[in-house]
Amino acid sequence: MENPLTPDVLADPVALTRALVDIESVSLNEKFIADCVEEVLRSASHLTVQRYGNTVMARTDLGRAQRVVLAGHLDTVPHNDNFPSTLRGDLLYGCGTSDMKSGVAYALHLAVTLPEPRYDVTYFFYEAEEIDSRYNGLFLVSQAHPEWLMADFALLLEPTYGMVEAGCQGTIRAVVGTTGRRAHSARSWRGVNAIHAAGEVLNRLAAYEARTVDIDGCTYREGLNAVRIQGGIAGNVIPDRCEVVVNYRFAPDRSEEQAQAHIREVFAGFEVEVVDSAGGALPGLTETPAREFLAAVGEAPVAKLGWTDVARFAALGIPALNFGPGDPNLAHAPDEHVEIGKIRDGAAILHRWLASH
Q: Active-site residue numbers? A: 75, 129
157 near 104, Cβ under 8 Å?
A: yes
End-to-end CA distance of the chain: 40
Which amino acid, 322? Answer: N
Q: Is 234 exposed, middle or buried (0-12, 13-18, 19+ CB in 10 A)?
A: exposed
**Nearest partner of 160 among 5, 327, 305, judged by Cα:** 327
Report the relative pairing of strands 218-221 and 212-215 from DSSP bridges: antiparallel
% helix / strand / coil in the chain, to the nearest 5? 35, 30, 40
| Cβ neighbours of residue 220 closer than 8 Å, sequence gap 6 or more | 167, 169, 212, 213, 214, 251, 252, 253, 303, 305
Q: Where are the beta strands (DSSP E) in the chain?
A: 48-52, 55-59, 67-73, 86-88, 91-93, 120-126, 153-156, 165-166, 170-179, 183-184, 212-215, 218-221, 223-231, 237-238, 241-250, 271-278, 302-303, 320-322, 337-339
355 near 341, Cβ under 8 Å?
A: no
